[in-house]
């Protein structure tokens, strides 16, 4: 008898719970999350991998109580095109937008459109200037701290130079270096360069800058710039600091194309840890890179997308300055490349 009572009580309790969760489920059940993404250019290696990770994160998060659709548009390097894409994504019913700006200084049109529709925007990878982020409180940013990546690249290079005296090939006590820089105006270009160079100097490395070439994050452009530099400086270049892996690989391609033997190759450092970048570290084409945590960024974008639409889970997200999420970089050399290659296979 007693047992039955407990059972009955239990049943009542369960029904109450069920009702509660039903109540929740009703709204949740109807929860349709339409994520609209537009990114600056589909030729970008890092961004393609980041968006692939984002797709995976969203798929993992899709559950009984949420249906997620993802629409991705390539702005092909035109801000005008991107503005139109945002309009189209909103018309098609996106209830959260993820925008990788073409021109990070020109988000006003997009912000106006989103605000009119009441649809929040998560900017990612190309950080709007602080003033624009204040235009509306439905704006967020997910990315990484450019300075940290520059410092880490400088540390990697300094460690290598201290460990290996033969990097200073002409034995003049200075390291002759060139820089391959990303797009002008991108937060990750100049800041990475400055901090890498400052960190080398702070570590007591005497430097001589030969040249800084802009290659817009692009492997082929970097190869061209590097070919020019090599023809100008011959065997003088001892270190290449590239703002990303694709440009570091472009530098390596240039030397390969010119059939330079290993004894006259400079050490080359990248940033990103893209699949091709990691492979190049494993093959010792690059002496090191700095991991740009695309999985972490993708996960943060997915969680934030869900939280913004459902109104749940915002408190679990770690914001800086209320609306920014920055993921940490990490250093990669031959010594720990195995961890990253494995991580990638998983
Ligand atoms: C990455 C580059 C990429 C650029 C695009 C940077 O954070 O390191 O590889 O090309 O973002 O915006
Ligand atoms: Ca030297």
Give me the CATH number covering residue 136. Answer: 3.40.50.2300
Q: Which atom of ligand 1 is nearest to the CA of 40?
A: 12
Per the structure, how many domains does the chain have? Answer: 2
Tell whether 17 is covered by a domain. Answer: no
Tell whether 79 is covered by a domain. Answer: yes
Tell whether 180 is covered by a domain. Answer: yes
151 and 286, same domain (yes or no): yes
Q: Tokens 């059972």 appear where?
A: 7
Tell whether 314 is covered by a domain. Answer: yes
Tell whether 168 is covered by a domain. Answer: yes
Who contacts 198 (Cβ-Cβ below 8 Å, separation ≥6)?
150, 154
167 and 260, same domain (yes or no): yes
Who contacts 41 (Cβ-Cβ below 8 Å, separation ≥6)?
47, 74, 75, 76, 77, 102
Q: Does ligand 1 lie within 6 Å of residue 244's CB atom?
A: yes
pLDDT at 1 over 60: no
Residue 6 pLDDT? 37
Q: How confident is the model at residue 10 (pLDDT cuts 50, 70, 90)?
A: very low
User: Which of 37, 51, 150, 182 is the best mutation target for the ligand 1 pocket, counting ligand atoms within 8 Å of the beta carbon and taking the most?
Assistant: 182
Residues having C-beta closer than 5 Å to ion ligand 2: 168, 170, 172, 174
At 107, list the tokens: 């988000």
240 and 315, same domain (yes or no): no
Residue 252 burial (CB count, 10 A): 24
Is the full-model pTM beyond 0.95? no
Average pLDDT, the chain: 91
81 and 40, same domain (yes or no): yes
120 and 176, same domain (yes or no): no
pLDDT at 133 over 70: yes
Q: How confident is the model at residue 65 (pLDDT cuts 50, 70, 90)?
A: confident
Contact 214, 246 (CB under 8 A): no
Q: Does ligand 1 lie within 6 Å of residue 57's CB atom?
A: no
Q: Which atom of ligand 1 is nearest to the CA of 126?
A: 12
Tell whether 11 is covered by a domain. Answer: no
Indicate which residue's Cα is closest to atom 6 of ligand 1: 188
| Parent domain of 211 | 147-291
Q: How confident is the model at residue 8 (pLDDT cuts 50, 70, 90)?
A: very low
Tell whether 286 is covered by a domain. Answer: yes
Residue 343 pLDDT? 59
- Residue 305 alpha carbon to ligand 1 centre in Å: 22
161 and 260, same domain (yes or no): yes
Q: How confident is the model at residue 28 (pLDDT cuts 50, 70, 90)?
A: very low
Tell whether 14 is covered by a domain. Answer: no
pLDDT at 237 over 90: yes
Q: How far apart are CA 245 and CA 243, in angstroms?
A: 7
Residue 345 pLDDT? 54
């Amino acid at each position: 008898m007693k047992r039955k009572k407990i059972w009955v009580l239990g049943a009542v309790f369960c029904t109450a719970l069920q009702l509660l969760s039903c109540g929740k489920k009703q709204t949740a059940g109807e929860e349709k999350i339409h994520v609209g993404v537009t990114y600056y250019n589909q030729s970008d290696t890092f961004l393609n991998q980041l968006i692939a990770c984002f797709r995976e994160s969203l798929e993992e998060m899709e559950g009984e109580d949420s249906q997620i659709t993802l629409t991705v548009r390539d702005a092909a390097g035109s801000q005008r095109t991107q503005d139109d894409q945002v309009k189209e994504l909103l018309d098609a019913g996106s209830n959260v937008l993820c925008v990788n700006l073409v021109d990070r200084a020109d988000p006003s049109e997009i912000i106006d459109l989103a605000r009119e529709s009441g649809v929040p925007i998560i900017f990612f990878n190309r950080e709007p200037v602080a003033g624009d982020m204040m235009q509306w409180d439905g704006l967020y940013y997910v990315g990484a701290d450019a300075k940290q990546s520059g410092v880490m690249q400088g540390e990697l290079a300094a460690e290598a130079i201290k460990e290996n005296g033969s990097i200073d090939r002409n034995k003049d006590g200075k390291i002759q270096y060139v820089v391959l820089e990303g797009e002008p105006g991108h937060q990750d270009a100049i800041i990475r360069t400055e901090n890498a160079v400052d960190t080398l100097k702070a570590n007591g490395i005497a430097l001589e800058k030969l040249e800084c070439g802009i290659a817009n994050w692009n492997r082929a452009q970097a190869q061209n710039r590097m070919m020019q530099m090599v023809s100008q400086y011959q065997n003088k270049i001892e270190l290449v600091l590239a703002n990303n892996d694709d440009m570091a690989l472009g530098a390596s391609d240039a030397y390969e194309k010119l059939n330079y033997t290993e004894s006259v190759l400079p050490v080359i450092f990248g940033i990103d840890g893209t699949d091709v970048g990691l492979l190049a570290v494993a093959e010792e084409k690059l002496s090191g890179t700095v991991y740009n945590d695309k999985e972490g960024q993708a996960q943060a974008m997915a969680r934030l997308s869900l939280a913004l639409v459902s109104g749940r889970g915002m408190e679990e997200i770690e914001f800086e300055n209320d609306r920014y999420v920055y993921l940490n970089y990490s250093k990669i050399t031959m010594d720990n490349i195995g961890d990253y290659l494995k991580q990638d296979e998983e």
